[in-house]
Chains A and B, each alone.
Chain A
């Protein structure tokens, strides 16, 4: 039975480790200026935990195999050093990993979440509401109109609650259902929720942030590759949570200008 256990654990360990190592299912390519920091952190953690995973499981398998006969005549052996090597290993190996990962990781974290956006960023106001995202661009006047929840009128596409009748700055605001951004240009988003908690997640951008009802949360990114990506909701928000998404289109600068013009004239 000891051999069986050792064999099963070994097979499970090696097959799992191989699938991880071969990236059979893996992150999509990163398209963000800050994404490589996260990827590097992930790969280092994967390597370290991979080694610990294989070592611990194989050690377990080995010891079970070797002691798996209840032979009462065999002398018992205590692990050399007793508990001290265990404590030492945990503190040294795990502790070192912890220190390194925390220090390096906090720099990556800070670069994304604790650094203000570039002053010249394209500003986009994002509203999440059951079960769609809408994106607001300031329009030619460069100013966002005021929004009020009591003015929201979804049947007439007024998702943000703008008041164009009385607020001239609101009249040229462009509201779209797609997040259109120019490539290689910093973008600053302000996230707010119309109703309950939602989240902003674009795997390729390595970016995720909850929308919190009652507050406006700022995030920023710079996309480095053109293409069409998906923004999906990762915060349970009701029955349509699985269907809550928008497309993110990263386009060239001229395409972006054209898109703005097309939308302005609607």
Chain B
């Protein structure tokens, strides 16, 4: 790949030339290690990311059960937990610091190893190269490295469960100086906290490699006829996500390095002088805790869009296929993705309204924060408008898309409150915030992952998932998540503070019954996920054999075998004639859709 100039490649000539020069990018692998472990094939790497995310989400979910049980019944002993942590859970009862460890690891694992891997690195890796008509990602070796670097980061993070002083306790946000001063600040802030920072720094490297790959592939490896305007919406979403990620992770990586230096090298980037912890004057001075917040949230806010935008793309890909109608306003949709990506860099201070920054900055940050609701509202209305007048097919994939829209409305609207500094004065640090971000990240983004799984599973594994199990999974989860996260808004309005290991304050004691309700809902909804696991593992072996295009969808992955051969298109180079939105048209062969590579000319819309 020597051509560095990126031009709109309307006829694919440059691609043909490049391809002729590199006859074999990489041939089919031989040997166990190359085929199954250190594979260069984007499809294997995508599945590896999804499997990693599966392990991560299981771990993260179990952590949330432990947290919720403790909040509802603080004195409850959990059998076996004392084996994992004799100090943190003596007799099986979770100590205050262990609760914070569980919470920190829950948030870190879910945000990084589930919501940043599965929707983006997982599905994106598998599907994007095929959707643009390429044989693989632009840099297969970087791609392979990006997965293994991410896996290494996960192992380092899990290792912190087994260190003597326990895992990190400062939350996934790791605010300084608590995260920076070391063990004088209490248990859970020794080696575990350092391992947290090391793990995330390693994760950043993996993500940067991944982002480079996505950007280069999308710009350079599109097949003939695949203009940017004809890209599937999921590819657009992955592309914009990777641009956001490139900038965001480039800031988080040095931030973690500075944090590690403060912890082990005696520097004071984030630690001011005069701090007394454990009766000792800390040997640091000159640093700024707010600097950490700036660096973290400059990454952290774009990160939440990294978590959700692939879901936007997935829903916009699945809904047209299931409604048999084109997505309403596709160019507007892409414009909204770009606007959200751009604005996501201007709002980070809305996490810091009360941080001690000049209060004028709060007003300044709240403006783009409120403005970003406009493109988010537009996309939501476009989805609702796509459903209008359609012929909606109910499959598990489409159900999860509908659920996505519903929970995104709920979570997005609660953001309205938090975007205003004067209201945030009351709601900051309460369960209102927890309810808000769980709706948009923990539910909407997860529903996007589920939708993508049910939709692309046939393509990835060559078999269909079980629809009955899928529907039960959807309905019980949909009701379950509302029972878990809607009440958190009420708790927040009542002033229930978050990140508390127990509710011992006078005014919070009356809220414990509602917490118990949430815990029961959470355990129930967690148990329901078994249906998904069973479906996944059973279907991989015993699902009905999947045809090439079970959903009658238009994009290029549905022209390949299920699963695709090693180089995706079996040596042929697809030529694209249409965009991905040709549904509801009188196509050839009595179809109501036209595939992107179909040579038929576009009929008059029915």
Task: Tell me if A238 and B356 are in contact (CB < 8 A).
Answer: no
Complexed CA–CA distance, A68 and B366 (Å): 40
Contact A232/B275 with A67-B389, A113-B359, A208-B426 known, Cβ cut-off 8 Å:
no
Give Cα A236 to B277, complex, Å: 15
B512 at the interface (CB under 8 A from A): no
Interface assignment of A146: CB less than 8 Å from any CB of chain B: no
Across the interface, do A53 and B413 meet the contact criterion of CB distance under 8 Å?
A: yes
Fill in one digit per residue for B334-375: 1 if any A CB lies within 8 Å of its CB, else 0: 000000000000000000001110011011001100110111
Interface size range of chain B in the complex: 35 or more
Contacts of B584 in A (CB 8 A): 76
Whether B186 is near chain A, meaning CB under 8 Å from some CB there, is yes
Quick one: which of A41, A53, A233, A242 contacts B410, CB cutoff 8 A?
Answer: A53
Q: How far is the CB of B461 from chain A (nearest CB, A)?
A: 25
Q: Are B178 and A20 in contact (CB under 8 A)?
A: no
* B residues in contact with A230, CB < 8 Å: 505-507
Pick from A105, A108, A110, A112 the residue with the most CB of B within 10 Å. A105
- A241 touching B499 in the complex, CB below 8 Å, given contacts A9-B406, A105-B422, A196-B178: yes
Instruction: Please tell me if the beta carbons of A203 and B495 are within 8 angstroms of each other in the complex.
Output: yes
Task: Verify B430–A234 contact, CB threshold 8 A.
Answer: yes
| A29-51 interface code vs B (CB 8 A; 1 in, 0 out) | 00000000110011001101100
Say if the beta carbon of B44 comes within 8 Å of chain A. Answer: no
Shortest beta-carbon distance from A252 to chain B in Å:
22
Flag whether A177 is at the interface (Cβ < 8 A). no
Given the complex of chains A and B, what is the CA–CA distance between A98 and B369 in angstroms? Answer: 9
With A67-B388, A129-B276, A154-B279 as known contacts, state yes or no: A1 contacts B394, CB within 8 Å: yes
Q: In the complex where A154-B279, A234-B430 touch, is A240 in contact with B392 (Cβ < 8 A)?
A: no
Q: Say whether B360 contacts A2, CB under 8 Å.
A: no
The reply to whether B514 and A239 contact each other, CB–CB distance below 8 Å, is: no
Choose among A102, A196, A233 the residue that contacts B275 (Cβ–Cβ < 8 A).
A196
Of A56-64, A133-141, A166-174, which binds chain B? A56-64
Q: Are A63 and B275 in contact (CB under 8 A)?
A: no
- Tell me whether A25 and B422 are in contact in the complex, defined as CB-CB below 8 angstroms, given that A101-B370, A106-B363, A114-B360 are known contacts: no
Binary CB contact string for chain B from 382 to 417 against chain A (1 if under 8 A, 0 otherwise): 101111111111100001001001100110011011
B76 CB-CB contact with A under 8 Å = no
Contact B384 A59, beta carbon cutoff 8 Å = yes
Q: Which of A45, A52, A212 contacts B289 (CB 8 A)?
A: A212
Q: Residue B274 at the A interface, CB < 8 A?
A: yes
- Are B416 and A49 in contact, with the CB atoms below 8 A? yes
B329 at the interface (CB under 8 A from A): yes
A38, B406: Cβ atoms closer than 8 Å: no
Complexed CA–CA distance, A79 and B355 (Å)? 45
Quick check: is B21 within 8 A (CB to CB) of the other chain?
no
Task: Assess whether A122 is interfacial by the CB under 8 Å rule.
Answer: no
The residue in A68, A98, A232, A239 that gathers the most chain B C-beta atoms within 10 A of its C-beta is A239
CB distance from A25 to the nearest CB of B (A): 4
Let me know if A45 and B387 touch, CB within 8 A.
Answer: no
Name the residue on A nearest B170 (C-beta): A236
- Residue in A8, A67, A214 whose CB lies within 8 Å of B478: A8
Q: Would A69 and B391 be within 8 Å (CB), given that A45-B423, A234-B430 are in contact?
A: yes
Structural contact, B289 and A213, CB atoms closer than 8 A: yes
B272 interface contact, C-beta 8 A: yes
Binds A, one of B32-40, B95-103, B244-252, B298-306: B95-103
Could you tell me if B100 and A78 are in contact, using CB atoms closer than 8 angstroms? no
Instruction: Tell me whether B502 and A195 are in contact (CB under 8 A).
Output: no
A74 to B495, CA, bound (A): 51
Contact indicator B428/A5 (Cβ below 8 Å): no
Let me know if A57 and B406 touch, CB within 8 A: yes
Question: Which A residue sits closest to B331, measured CB to CB?
Answer: A83
Give the residues in chain A near B596, CB-CB below 8 Å.
none
Q: Is the CB of B392 within 8 A of A64?
A: yes
Q: A64-B402, A106-B366, A106-B421 are in contact. List 14 more A-B contacts (CB 8 A).
A: A53-B409, A64-B392, A66-B388, A90-B374, A195-B275, A195-B276, A197-B176, A201-B495, A214-B272, A215-B272, A238-B97, A239-B97, A239-B100, A245-B505
Q: Which 9 pairs of residues, A with B, have the shortest CB-CB distance? A: A83-B329, A214-B272, A77-B389, A234-B429, A203-B495, A25-B490, A113-B359, A86-B381, A242-B500
